[in-house]
Amino acid sequence: MKIWVDGRLVEEGEARVHVLSPTLNYGYGVFEGIRAYWAGDNLYVFRLREHVERLLRSARIIGMALPYAERELEAAVVEVLRANNFREDVYIRPIAYIAKPQIGLDVRGIEASIAIAAVPFGKYLKPGGVKVAVVSWRRAHSSMLPVMAKATGIYLNSIMALLEAKARGADEAVLLNAEGKVVEGSGENIFVVRRGLLTTPPVEDGILEGITRETVITLAGDLGLPVLEKSIAREELYTADEAFFVGTAAEVTPIIEVDGRPLQIGPITTKLADYYRQVVLGRVEKYRGWLTPVY
């Protein structure tokens, strides 16, 4: 497998990071998750520009200097996909990190390195639906960490949540924020259908601004399903008619159980999942502009 590192393609074994990197030791880095779909005639990267833009925003939030512009990074993603000659669905991981080794927390003035790897990738969560547990770990609060950045260190929060959910026999976690409101999964945004109303937590509740979340809100409008962004109580999740996760890895995945309480896979979840699949494969002309062809 070839990996793009600071402007050149290298073999997997050559992509190395010093053990004293501040990214490895202190979590000072930002990353993205991007999907590319094989549609039979070409490989299409879904919403590449938006993902690269978020990577740059995340870096700006944490004060990390990146040496590449948006268009250069977009071209680098396509380059690594072509170099590996993928003819299947792929997950792409750009990451900005500090390669220079150092002891100490002062990272001022250090220019970041960027690596881009890609691997064949199928379903991240069970496509037939997942059982979730509302965990005791709370979502990191924006007064403590920059939760709007897709930063590496923040994901310890997600790992701890998922480990707890798995220990309780669930497939995935649901985190609450400091105020006790439902915010997201360990790596997904969440939507809830209750009394015919489709809702999702707002950005101000401490969620990551998901690109798939924004996509689904747009697609729901096409289907005549307006989305209300509002705080969601735990009890509303328990009494939902439907609920589902969305994310680059998760796509649109139904939630079939919350803390032992069963949920149905309803018509709204099904419609959105089907429509989303058609869009990412380039079968909806209106959204072909969201796709970047590789070959």
pLDDT score, position 14: 94
Q: Token digits for 123?
A: 């379903």
Alpha carbon separation from 187 to 153, 161, 174, 250 (Å, rounded): 14, 10, 10, 8
pLDDT, one tens digit per residue, over 5-14 is: 999 999 999 9
**Checking phi first, is residue 6 left (phi over 0); if not, alpha (psi -120 to 50) or beta?**
left
**Structural domains in the chain?**
2-120 (3.30.470.10), 130-280 (3.20.10.10)
Whether the CB-CB separation of 37 and 43 falls below 8 Å is answered with: yes
Residue spans of the chain under pLDDT 50: none
pLDDT score, position 259: 98
pLDDT score, position 189: 98
The reply to whether 150 belongs to the active site is yes
pLDDT, one tens digit per residue, over 273-283 is: 999 999 999 99
**Helix (H) or strand (E) segment spanning residue 204:** none
Identify the active-site residue in 123, 150, 166, 181.
150
Closest CA to 100 of 108, 89, 111, 91: 111
Handedness of CA 115, 116, 122, 127 (dihedral sign): positive
pLDDT score, position 183: 98
- Distance, in Å, from the CA atom of 188 to the CA atom of 209, rounded to the nearest integer, reads 10
